Amino acid sequence: MDLKKICSEVTEITKSVGQFILSEKNNIKELNVEEKGLHDFVTYVDKTSEQKIVDQLSKIIPEAGFIAEEGTAKNKEDKYNWIIDPLDGTTNFIHGITPYAISIALMENDEIVLGVVHELGLDECFYAWKNSPAFLNGEEVTVSTKETVEKSLIATGFPYYDYDRIDAFMKTMEYFMRHSRGLRRLGSAATDLVYVACGRFEAFYEYSLSPWDVAAGAFIVQQAGGKVCDFNGEKNYIFGKEIIASNALTYKEFLSVVKGFMKN
């Protein structure tokens, strides 16, 4: 399987679907917004975009299944599966602010082998495939070389549910407010992850996430030289609903802080 060629085809899909999303950004009205859960929204743009993506990906690998946020295609297969978020950052999108992104990953058995995240606000397409570097609009990118949390800019996201862990989470935020260059909350986990990959952030952490939020971005971080794990330092970050991503040099310190608060 030519993963480089497939990755190129996937980036073209994100460009065409991205044009549709941007064409609709001024047409969203409150009546178009559905609430899937508390603070969890979906629009016809999400649903239509996902259908467009599924239709086009099905032509690339006809035997592949799908793990997709809006449930357009639910047939998970044994070997190949696409993991799709057609619009990561829907709340930003419906409020007319960025970032928001298309996120597509290809999983072979239990391994991610390709990832594309196209952030539409700045028209930045991040991508990588197995054994490749990470790229941003054709240029190779790597994680930052900051060595300590004290020198780091850190990204996080706020949970939509599972508020039983909120007190511990708030303690991590207080720690990083006091002991880093600052915290940012952009509202798109896929974007947060690729910003770690290209060195804009040193680290990112969040819980209550889904596979489509993190699969592509986490893979791109790793291909850019970064580290990714769950809050225990293990590999259950795609389906385990919690993730840490950082550059290689701050990884141990960053993990120890998050683990210390979130796993007590």
- For residue 138, what pLDDT is reported? 98
DSSP 8-class letter at 77: -
Measured in degrees and rounded to the nearest 5, phi and psi for residue 130 equal -55, 130
- For residue 63, what pLDDT is reported? 94
Dist CA 49 CA 41 (whole Å): 15
Place of tokens 């549709």: 20
pLDDT tens, position by position, 82-140: 999 999 999 999 899 999 999 999 999 999 999 999 999 999 999 999 999 999 999 99
Name, in order, each residue with C-beta under 8 angstroms of 25's C-beta and a sequence gap of 6 or more: 93, 96
- For residue 196, what pLDDT is reported? 99
Domains of the chain: 3-141 (3.30.540.10), 149-262 (3.40.190.80)
Place of tokens 């899937």: 36
pLDDT under 70 in the chain at which residues? Answer: 29-41, 73-74, 264
- For residue 30, what pLDDT is reported? 53
- For residue 33, what pLDDT is reported? 64
Instruction: Select from 209, 190, 212 the least CA-distant residue to 201.
Output: 190
* Predicted TM-score (pTM) above 0.85: yes
